[in-house]
Structure 1
Amino acid sequence: RRQEEALKNRERQLEEKKEKILQKAHEQARDILQEAKDTADQAISDLRKSGSRGNMAELEKTRSGLRDKVSKKEKKLQKKKEQAPARGKLRPEDLHIGDKVRVISMGLTGTVTGEPRDGKVKVQCGIMNSQVRIDDLLLIHEDAFGNPTAIQSSRSSMKKAFAASEGRTARQLDFSQVQSVSPELNLLGMTTDDAVRELDKYLDDARVSHLESVRIVHGKGTGALRNAVHQYLRRQKWVKSFRLGDFGEGDAGVTIVRLK
């Protein structure tokens, strides 16, 4: 009887270990795709600054494809998370300032920096301090997720591959895994095409940073920039709602966007 229980425990432990390995593999794949998209973003930004249009259309197409792949990978991760058996779901009272946690959706480790409130808590990941849903967190201890150098080596290989394709060294590329995202984007003075490209990238970053609401400054003028922004927002299924600014927020010169 005792031997049978021991075998069942061993089987359960192996199954849990397998789940963790698969989860980590999915997260690494998503991180690699995200870095590839960041590389395309940087290349587009460099071309724009230099005034050269170059192969902008091709880069935009590549970036769009990578963004779709990242989105699909995130959906798969979320689905696996929802299908996984609940094992000790975190409650607000389980979290304290200074606790080390894993942000599941972002694949990042951070530190709790505020008291839980309304189902969320502030978590510091690198230079980014964001409000994160408690159900998107795992309370961890040192080395609970294995050796981080294995993840880093995958990212390092990806950086070298992209650097080689651009004829540059990996050191010359800026891969910021965690960004500090402002809650406001200023599009004043841009053409509608450039503004939409900038907005597209900005909202990607805002979603990753778990921002719930952002302010887009497009000015009043002829209304062309505002219309382009609103047309873009209407096509995005992860935009919960948007509206023109109220008195004191910038009136018709700004748009307030709420993200899902």
Structure 2
Amino acid sequence: MSGRNGSDIALAVRLSPLVLLAILGGCVSGPRYSVGPGGPQVASSPQYNSGNFRPYTVRGKTYYPDIPDKGYTETGVASWYAEESGTRTADGEVFNPDGLSAAHKTFPLPSIVEVTNLDNGRTLQVRVNDRGPFVDGRVMDLSRGAAKALGVYASGTARVRIKWLGPADRMTATPAYTASAAGEGDDARYIVQLGAFSQKDNAERAQDRIDAARIDKRGGLYVVYLGPFKGASVAEGHRQAAIDAGFRDAILAHAD
């Protein structure tokens, strides 16, 4: 949140996922998900589009896509998304929010990666077919389906380890992780968390920047949020509006 107390904002970014996890009852161990035949598979002969290797610039920062060594790993924070600005991903594929896919800033498109949620131990292979997330400190944007399978859907973000496995076949459909399988329905309620602040006056300044924002004190922090909203699609629309308003770290979380 530019123009505000930098150290306070940095604290909010670092602590937001932890605050949400505390709200939701902490980390819960879960099964290791595996994708069998018909799921995202590594291609024997890569067919990359050369256009996907061109450097590109977003928000003043230039990214250089390349092919990592097989088995390359990185760790960081993953978030999730359920809408595209259009209907297609950066690779030209139709975006399926309930498919097992993800966005990465530099991996070749399309690729297969193994994602492990370090907060609960769940592991899943997903198809990387999009670019993003363009938020400092985040390494991957998961589709809604992948987020549900990995247990990231409710918390909004999670610490993950990503392992690059190799190229994917082009334009191959990915299986969907259904809402019924995840125990989620259209009647679920969500908030859009805009930030978490240690100082109340900083939270109030953030609240003043967007209509209908609220403040709730949780775990010693002042959480600024919108909602609650009924259904993930409605909440996601408000999150996108918040991002457009300058709240680039806005995330979804289950309402209490």
What TM-score do the two structures reach when normalised by structure 1? 0.25
Higher share in helix: 1
Higher-RCO chain (CA-CA 8 Å, sequence separation at least 6):
2
Please tell me whether Structure 1 or Structure 2 has the larger radius of gyration of its CA atoms: 1
What TM-score do the two structures reach when normalised by structure 2? 0.25
Higher share in strand: 2
